[in-house]
Amino acid sequence: MSENKTLLKTTMSVTLIIFISKAGGFLREIIMTAYYGAGMEMDAYNMAYSLFYMPVLLFNSCITSTLVPLYVSLAQNKPRRRLDEFSSRVINLYGLMGIAVSVLMFIFARPLVRLTGQGFDPGKQDLTVQLLRLMLPALAFIVVSIILASILNARQKYMAAQLTGFPLTIALLIATIGFSDTAGIRALAVGVFVSGVLQAAILLPFLRKELRYKPSFNFADETLKRMVVLAAPAVLSMAVNELNHMIDKMLASGLPEGHLSCMNLAFRLITFLTGVVLVPLETINFSRMSIKTASHDKEGVGKIVTQSAELVALIIFPIIAVGAIMSRDVIRLAYMHGRFNEASVGVSAVALTFYIRGVYAFGMRDILNRAFHACQDTRTPMVNSVITMVLNIALNIVLVRVMGVGGLALATSIAASVGVLLLLTLLRRRIGPLGGLPALRQLGLIAVATAAAGAVCWAFNRFCPPAHTSPESLLRLVIGTGLSLLVYAGAAVFLKVEQVAEVRKLIRSKLRRRAG
């Protein structure tokens, strides 16, 4: 089987389980929105969860960006005993750090909320503090689950590592449906805590043959020291990215009530999309790039980046076109239930329209960052993040005044696109050519096919009667998306896009095996 076919097959398998996980998460958001709406309580919960999730993302960044390449390198040169010692020391060190951070955040919860929720009134700030403190004990468990998942990914056990998305959905659904009447919004915060414990527990059975845990606290381990040194820029890079999001939320907190939640709901659709389409490719290719780097194969790393850019464009470009044109239908179908009204649909649709334009940049930024991490270079992504943050803040300040939440979303998309161009330039200098004119030609062909699909979608959206209910939006989306994708597929085949040919070969191969 060719390398492209292997990549497609593995990606499709991982995508399936992530899709199920994200679909469950999407259902969770629909039910939560129906029960709680987009008012004061959800604003407080969203702000509290953002503060809680910030250290989660920081730990995730410093662990995944450093543990996988170092683990792969050790696996090629050291015995199994050495791998177990290193993994155990990572668990112990970062587990203790997770406990320390959660204690500090619990103590300083009120100043943190006052800083980030300056537009909140005192009652909303008090509720946000309470919710944050209920969530914080879960942090250490989530940190351990990140380490366990990274070890599984490094050993190319991708399916098991993706199971951690299910506990949050299950816990929050039970909290919402079973306890919202008695505990109110606080039920969600308790659900977040319970899910953190379950995320670590669910991975343990898959590590019985992959890890022999040892209560070793020898933090003088040279590889562990190397991991900590590499982690510092990775943490700063993620901190800058999260600071970007927090600044967005701070500016949105000064907009009319509910706009923060509407912006957050739109961005969750983007994370759903990137999680289903981009995370599988990013996860698989990070391990592949780490293996290529350990073998000193820079050309191989460049080839993986080029393959990723073409495959992501093939999948994402038509979704961007349809999502931007039919954003109101997407939001209405996703969230217009219970207390979520037509006014909230309008605000969320504006945010989605501008967020979705940056989806390709969001995905390629993560893949390019992983390419640098695989080369054990965490400094370059950090510098790029700082540049992107400065640009995003400047655009935020200007655009929020004239476009509201749409301006905040557009600023994020523009800044991410500029950051990707800079990362591409720097990676090319580091490892050499990344595909050149052939890759640009393929991207151009995909863009032409997308333009044809977008024209059909625009015409359908323009002349088809508007929807007023979720079922009507569903019908419009099914027809509009179906017509657009038919045109897109036909144009891609006619233009002889290479990635389409690979997908067709893979499907034919599967059909022949089943027939045989």
Is the pLDDT reported for residue 368 higher than 60?
A: yes
What residue type is assigned to position 349 of the chain?
A
Structural contact between residues 17 and 162, judged by C-beta atoms closer than 8 angstroms = yes
Is the pLDDT confidence value at 157 over 80? no
Per-residue pLDDT band at 285 (split at 50, 70, 90): confident
Closest CA to 367 of 331, 316, 442, 333: 316
- How far apart, in whole angstroms, are the C-alpha atoms of residue 329 and residue 322? 10
- Kindly tell me if the per-residue pLDDT of 1 is higher than 50: no
Residue 482 has pLDDT above 70, yes or no: yes
- Cα torsion at 458, 462, 468, 474 (round to 10°)? -30
Which 3-state string (H, E, C) describes 335-361?
Answer: HCCCCCCHHHHHHHHHHHHHHHHHHHH
C-alpha to C-alpha distance for 11 and 5, rounded to whole angstroms: 10
Residue with tokens 């350990």: 294
Q: What percent of the chain has pLDDT over 70?
A: 92
Confidence check: pLDDT of 489 > 60 = yes
Percent of the chain with pLDDT over 90: 24
Q: Stretch 280-308: mean pLDDT, rounded?
A: 80
Cα–Cα distance between 238 and 58 in angstroms, integer? 6
Interval 318-325 mean pLDDT:
92
Structure tokens at 218: 């020898």
Q: Is pLDDT at 4 greater than 70 in this prediction? A: no
Mean pLDDT of 176-188: 86
For residue 3, what pLDDT is reported?
52
Structure tokens at 514: 């089943």
| Separation CA 92–CA 466 (nearest Å) | 56
Q: Which residue has the tokens 């606080």?
A: 186
User: pLDDT tens digit string along 32-91?
Assistant: 877 887 677 888 888 899 889 888 888 887 888 888 888 888 777 767 778 888 888 889
Closest CA to 363 of 301, 426, 320: 320
Question: Would the pLDDT of 230 be above 60?
Answer: yes
pLDDT of 309 over the 90 cut: no
Express the helix, strand and coil content of the chain in percent, nearest 5 each.
Answer: 85, 0, 15
Tokens of 242: 């999260």
Average pLDDT over residues 477-497: 91
Average pLDDT value for the chain: 83
Q: How many other CB atoms are there within 10 angstroms of residue 512's CB atom?
A: 9
* Angle in degrees, CA 268, 269, 271, rounded to 5: 60
Phi, psi for residue 156 in degrees, rounded to 5: 60, 35
Average pLDDT over residues 467-476: 87
- Counts of helices then strands in the chain (DSSP H, E): 20, 0
483: confidence class by pLDDT, cuts 50, 70, 90: very high
Phi-psi region of 297 (alpha: psi -120 to 50; beta: other; left: phi over 0): beta
Q: What is the pLDDT of residues 198-221, one digit of tens each?
A: 998 898 888 887 788 878 777 777
pLDDT category, 16, cuts 50, 70, 90? Answer: confident
CA distance 425 to 443: 17
State the Cα–Cα distance between residues 276 and 280, nearest whole angstrom: 7
Q: How far apart are the first and last CA of the chain?
A: 18
What type of residue is 515?
A: A
Q: Supply the pTM of this predicted model.
A: 0.73
CB 137 within 8 A of CB 193: yes
Rounded to whole angstroms, how far apart are CA atoms 495 and 445?
A: 7
Q: Which segment of 10-19, 29-38, 230-239 scores lowest on mean pLDDT? A: 10-19
Largest CA distance in the chain: 69
Question: Tens digits of per-residue pLDDT, 17-34?
Answer: 777 877 787 788 778 877
Residue 98: the pLDDT is 93
Could you identify the residue written with the tokens 């239908």? 329
For 172-181, what is the mean pLDDT? 87
pLDDT of residue 6: 56
pLDDT band at 252 (very low <50, low <70, confident <90, very high): confident
Query: What is the Cα–Cα distance from 283 to 35, expressed in whole angstroms?
Result: 34
- At residue 278 the predicted structure's pLDDT band, cuts being 50, 70 and 90, is confident
**Cα–chain center distance at 195:** 18
